[in-house]
Structure 1
Amino acid sequence: MQSLFLLTGPNGGGKSSLLRSICAVALLGICGFMVPAESALIPQFDSIMLHMKSYDSPADGKSSFQVEMSEMRSIVNGATSRSLVLIDEICRGTETAKGTCIAGSIIEALDEIGCLGIISTHLHGIFNLPLCTKNTVYKAMATEYVNGQTKPTWKLVDGTCKESLAFETAKKEGLAEAIIQRAEELYSSVYAKEASSGLSDAQLVQFGSEGAHLQSIKASAGSLGCKTKPTNKMEVLQDVKTAVTLTCQKKLIELYKPKNTADVPVLNCVSIAAREQPPPSTIGASCVYIMFRPDEKLYIGETDDLDGRVRTHRSKEGMQNASFLYFTVPGKSIARQLETLLINQLLSQGFPIANLADGKHQNFGTSSLSFDSITVA
């Protein structure tokens, strides 16, 4: 540990346990006692600061967030380059947007001080902030897929985990199935749509009929033909997102021929940034992914093990910071068809493709699933 770890992970993944354990080990080491490790180098800290969940303090007339901010003031004012700072679930007692920005500013302040420590959070908007940090690194609590369930491994890995497994946790703790189903519906109707593809409302409306949809595909394909080369990575990402969504949406309509095309789900293309890992929800799911290579070419693939595939790609020389787009589909057959389709369609629209040979693969047979059974996330 050279500076700060910004720690993410699902509920029950071991974030709080890790913070408590490191605090206990640091205290034991400073006192000269044995620690549970094969070997350990523990600095002589001038202070160890541990912040866990805050509670209201009626005697002081303070809310839980006021108490937390008071503790944050003490930590920032008292920390030095020889301090160990451990903060669990930073800024979770207030409105998300402003709490995220406060948390980001605190992280910058501690990074500037140069103290060691871990800050855990579910405020994933932090990763979208233009933070000015020098040595803060992203870490996550890993998970594995066992007997149809996602379970923690209690291992610390590089990257970020932007999935909380909140629905799974609520179900595990006995919350009524009807409540969980309604929560999933609300999430899909609002948050999943916001995070989908970045398409305009006008484009989404055009999915209402086959003819209008084809016009949208044609118009977008013309605009995405790389006549004007995007000037930055964000523009490239957005262009690829739009092209992928429009192309695959049209293919799903052709495959399942729904009576009402307005019912066609909008593909949710999810980004995986350079230091991120795929969320646990992708474990065991059929995924189509697009890798953005350093040579500005796109690699398009499909897999039932997205986490393993991302790690394999990044293990190759020069690919450590590769970023990805992905979306899940109902079954490997559809994934293979969309993989081949995207390779050929994106190439025809002017995008440079690294694995052209895969565009000649034979498609699997069309799935017998009815359209009602499709869940595209």
Structure 2
Amino acid sequence: MNRPYRNLRTQKILRFPIIFILSLWLLSGCKMYTAFNAVLDPEWDEFSQAPKGTPRLEYHHSFPVIHLYGTAAEMGHQYGSILKKQLEGLDYITDKFFPENKQIEYINIAKNSEDKLPSETLEFVKGMSVSSGVDYYKLLAINAVPRVSCSVLAVWGDASEDGKLLMGRNADYQFKKINKALGIIVVKHPATGYATVASSFLGLAGAFTGINEKGVCYGNMLVYNGIENKEDENGLPIQLLMQTAAETQNSAREMIDYLTARKHVIPINVMCADKNEAIVAELGQTKFTLREGNKGVLAATNYFYSSGMFEKVENDGRLTALLLTARKYYGNFNMQHLQEAMHAARQPNKNLQCTLFEPERMLIHVSMNKVPASKGPFQTISVIELLEKDIE
């Protein structure tokens, strides 16, 4: 006769810990939700009302564009202040997604490389840390560790429709569920040196993809088949080197010369282009070689192809796709064909950004924060308009 009562009582007793655990999960989830919302919210609207010529966040067709001015330290402070909420959210999410041992590994890499990194990078990251409140070494790790698998194509001269150079770059990277929300265009107006526009990711002091006010555009690719496989502790991350080079070099050839004279953490490919030519530098840790265009066509992905630079030859379908598309439209190659080529060479489920350059016209066409970005739609942005306050 008492069994139904006992069953009900038992259900209540069992229900209490379930509700308690669920409550704890929801409370922790609120913080996670807040962090995700800070990063995923497409309208990063703080500081968006600032006038031109001052540090600010603005939007070009829904893409966040941050303008930074002055010294490296000043620009870092501005970055951290304007994107404080987003950096805090990113910090919290990475803590939850990355195992503690992996976080310790990355932070140790940052600490071990600190005394070798450019002073401008350290000043930028310190400024970003102070104004955002995010741990300095966590931000430094973001800048010392990233590895992005990508592809590039340049077509010019007899190969293109009007003889003008076109360059495209895919940025392929996987970072859990927030990989579609980290893209941001960073416009740097340095106190000294050339202004730059980078298609970047949240928290980066350097640039994987960009163009400077002289019309020099650039992009890098991690290499999988280099002779040297271990990280060189005396080398520098390529995105930091490319940012410095873009602020100091006048042409693609000068930028390549700058990069080949430096040590690199890991084997890397870099394409630099201006209105006249494109060059790929295959950058090992002890040697390098250059590849230049064949009849106005040049492409690269994640492998070395020059003699003496690789362990074994790789037949890369993405490189083949780029070259076949360039051959298909040879002599009539235009921006639409470039988009087609980059889409054919994308990495499935990883294509976060696709940027197309017209260095002579000082135009970039950007698709970001969607997968695959190469599918578009692309938004055209005038580099001159972004930099008009700083170019005489």
TM-score class normalised by the smaller sequence: under 0.3
Q: Larger helix proportion, structure 1 or 2?
A: 1
TM-score between the two structures when normalised by the length of structure 2: 0.25
Q: Which has the higher contact order (CA 8 A, sep 6+)?
A: 2
* TM-score of the two chains, using structure 1 as the length reference: 0.26
Structure with the higher fraction of residues in strand conformation: 2
